[in-house]
Amino acid sequence: MQLASRLDQIAESITLAVTARANAMKKQGVDVVSFGAGEPDFDTPAAIKEAAITALRAGRTKYEPTAGTPEARKAIADKLARHNKLPYPPEQIIASVGGKHSLYVAFMAVLNPGDEVLIPAPYWVSYPEMVKLAGGVPVIIQGDPAHEFKITPAQLAAAITPRTKMFIMNSPSNPGGHTYHPAELAALAEVIKPHGNIWVCSDEIYERLLFGDQKTCSWAALDWNTWKDRTITCNCLSKTYAMTGWRIGYTAGAKPLIDAMNKLQSQMTSNITSFCMPAIVEALSNPAMEDEVAKMRQAFEKRGAHIWQRLNALPGFKCVRPTGAFYAFPSIAGALGKPLGKTAAKPKDAIEFCRIVLDEAHVALVPGNDFGFPDHVRLSFATSLEQIDKGVDRLEKLLTASQS
């Protein structure tokens, strides 16, 4: 069968593939502990669900404006002004089918064949693949675990070429769990600033999940006049409000960018699901939702501190302390090349390591290969403390039994 050659350039999403495999094993009765896909284990707050149910009951079942209803766009604009100090008017906002779709439509609107896109590693698996689908060329800037994976201004400067079209920033970050302080963002911004043709795509989907006194900020808020027309601000409701399945993302940017995305989306998906529009208004405008977000954030912070301590006690593991999002991204370099499991296989990279761990300990980890770190693994700690302990206990047992 002849399929499009564009498929040859990209891999399937490893995060979704690992989760699908863990779920299939669970269906067969295997008690799998899954640290796979990054999705909150909490349910969507009831008031947000009610807003959608009410809309559905009221017959809100027809096409809506492609970019979102005026009410939804205004709620997003108000949130961005209030919380992020970004005064985008509603007509400079477009809602898309999840953060993933927001990013993809933005890349399709901005990238030409051969355009280089600078991506700090470790990176979320879909960035390079979506860039390639849009004709761009991913250029990876390697972060250093010794500096919490954060890239330096000098590294950024060295990666820029005349073909550079975009820089992707994700703070807090998936999978590193690291967060750039506003001063660190400002130092990177100084490097990009003189290159007027470079866009910055700021993926802010974990912005509310910050731990301790960690701070970050929206890229365009670093200096609104410099960045308002050059920043693609992406966000979604998936993580903050435990709404991964709803598929609601949004982008704010210059009017020509949003108009271009609207044009593309009008031929691709049209509007997001009609009865999700009032749910956006509820999530972003009802002050009571702030308490819901705070409760979930606190739980993630507690789990993050716990899993970090436990992972660092495992033989061969070394983990940077997460300061945001809900991911731990330990190095397993010390466990590679050593006998593991029943057959005493010597895994050479994270893919082989994770396969043995899933088959024998029934713990689903995501190998770091597709995040740009083949000697690291990712654990989503958006799961209960009990599950965290159960999973890490199993890992500990497998590792210590194999090495004794």
Tokens coding 239:
């993580």
Contact segment (CB under 6 A) with ligand PMP among 47-55, 92-100, 111-119, 306-314 equals 92-100
The minimum distance between CB 307 and ligand PMP, in angstroms, equals 18
Q: 367 and 374 in contact (C-beta within 8 Å)?
A: yes
> Please, what is the minimum distance in Å from the beta carbon of residue 353 to ligand PMP?
22
Site string for ligand PMP, 197-226 (x = CB under 6 A): ------x-x---------------------
Beta-bridge mates of residue 141: 120
Give the one entry of ligand PMP, ligand GLU, none that residue 170 binds, where binding means its C-beta sits below a cut-off of 5 to 8 angstroms depending on kind. ligand PMP
Q: Does 96 bind ligand PMP (CB under 6 A)?
A: no
Residues 6+ apart with CB under 8 A from 371: 121, 122, 123, 124, 125, 175, 329, 378
Q: Which residues are near ligand GLU by CB under 6 A?
A: 13, 15-16, 37-38, 100, 124-126, 174
Helices (H), 269-384: 277-285, 288-312, 350-356
Would you count residue 38 as binding ligand PMP (CB under 6 A)? Answer: yes
At closest approach, how far in Å is the CB of 283 from ligand PMP?
13
Decide if residue 249 touches ligand PMP (CB under 6 A).
Answer: yes
CA 35 to chain centre: 15
Judged by CB under 6 A, the chain residues 157 through 196 that form the site for ligand PMP are: 170, 174
Q: Which does 13 bind (CB under 5 to 8 A by kind): ligand PMP, ligand GLU, none?
A: ligand GLU
Binding site partner of 281, from ligand GLU, ligand PMP, none, Cβ cut-off 5-8 A by kind:
none
Q: What is the dihedral of CA 226, 229, 234, 237, to 10 degrees?
A: 100
Q: How far apart are CA 310 and CA 301, in angstroms?
A: 14
Which residues are CB-contacts of 104 (< 8 A; sequence separation ≥ 6)?
130, 133, 134
Name the residue with tokens 């990176």: 123
First to last CA, the chain: 50
Any idea which residue has 């006998």 for tokens? 339
Which phi and psi angles does 70 have, rounded to 5°? -55, -35
Q: Which value, in Å, is the radius of gyration of the alpha carbons in the chain?
A: 21
Residue 391 binds: one of ligand PMP, ligand GLU, none (C-beta under 5 to 8 A by kind): none
35, 107, 124, 219: which one contacts ligand PMP (CB under 6 A)?
124
| Options 68, 99, 120, 316; binder of ligand PMP; rule CB under 6 A | 99
Q: Is 128 in the site for ligand PMP (CB under 6 A)?
A: no
Indicate which of ligand GLU, ligand PMP, none lies near residue 40 (CB less than 5 to 8 Å, by partner kind): none
Write out the residues near ligand PMP by the rule CB under 6 A: 38, 98-100, 124, 170, 174, 203, 205, 236, 238, 244, 249
